[in-house]
Amino acid sequence: MIVLNGGSSSGKSGIARCLQEVLPSPWLAFGIDDFVAALPLSLRSSDEGIAFAPDGSVTVGPGFTALEAAWRAGIAATARAGAPVVIDDVFLGGPHSQQRWRTSLTGLDVLWVGVRCEAAVAAGREIVRGDRARGMAEKQAELVHEGVVYDVEVDTTHAEALECARVIAGRVG
């Protein structure tokens, strides 16, 4: 398994798609955005679920956390059943988020990847995307990496997603 962690608009999903292209065998790609899309609408913008504040900060409530744990268990089971999986996530809880994944992924071979991007550049890309709550990119750029331990780190500030994917693929099995 590969777990990509980075702030909003740091380029994780793009790297995941490129990894699927450059890795020699077929990998499945899932992301935290897929999990959010699977939630009932009532949890997609509420204190019980996930809430996006006007300043770009994101908070999650108990309804979100409980279902997210089950989703992580499902991703782990997909990998244990033999499908290579690349995940992209935003470790809002930093090392606690990583620990939760470690617990779910027990027994699996995991490559931990930090996807960095300078806050100002990520904020610019947030404008380019046009569909994201503003301010998330800047708020999360440093925050999600604090206390997290990686096998590889890439930085999309000056490198293309495809280049980053090649670096990561070079570290896979």
Binder of a copy of itself out of 51, 58, 67, 111 (CB under 8 A)? 67
Residue 173 found at the interface with a copy of itself (CB under 8 A): no
**33: annotated active-site residue:** yes
Q: 28-57 mask for a copy of itself (x: CB under 8 A)?
A: xxx---x---xxxxxx-----x--------
Residue 60 found at the interface with a copy of itself (CB under 8 A): no
3-class SS shares of the chain: helix, strand, coil, % to 5 = 45, 15, 35
Q: 90-109 mask for a copy of itself (x: CB under 8 A)?
A: --------------------
Residue 124 found at the interface with a copy of itself (CB under 8 A): yes
DSSP code for 3 = E
Q: With contacts defined by CB under 8 A, name the span among 2-10, 15-23, 95-103, 108-116 that binds a copy of itself.
A: 15-23
Q: Tell me which long-range contacts 162-170 makes (C-beta under 8 A, separation of at least 24).
A: 162/18, 162/21, 162/22, 164/11, 164/15, 164/18, 164/115, 165/15, 165/18, 165/19, 165/21, 165/22, 166/18, 166/22, 168/2, 168/15, 168/19, 168/111, 168/113, 169/19, 169/22, 169/23
Residue 80 found at the interface with a copy of itself (CB under 8 A): yes
Residue 125 beta carbon to a copy of itself: minimum distance, rounded to whole angstroms: 7
Residue 26 beta carbon to a copy of itself: minimum distance, rounded to whole angstroms: 5
105's torsion region: left (phi>0), alpha (psi -120 to 50) or beta?
Answer: alpha
Question: Three-class SS of residue 5?
Answer: strand
Residue 17 found at the interface with a copy of itself (CB under 8 A): yes
Question: What is the rounded distance in angstroms from the CA atom of residue 140 to the CA atom of residue 122?
Answer: 10
Kindly list the catalytic residues.
Answer: 33
Interface residues toward a copy of itself, by CB under 8 A: 11, 14, 17-18, 20-21, 26-30, 34, 38-43, 49, 63, 66-67, 69-71, 73-83, 121, 124-125, 127-130, 158, 160-163
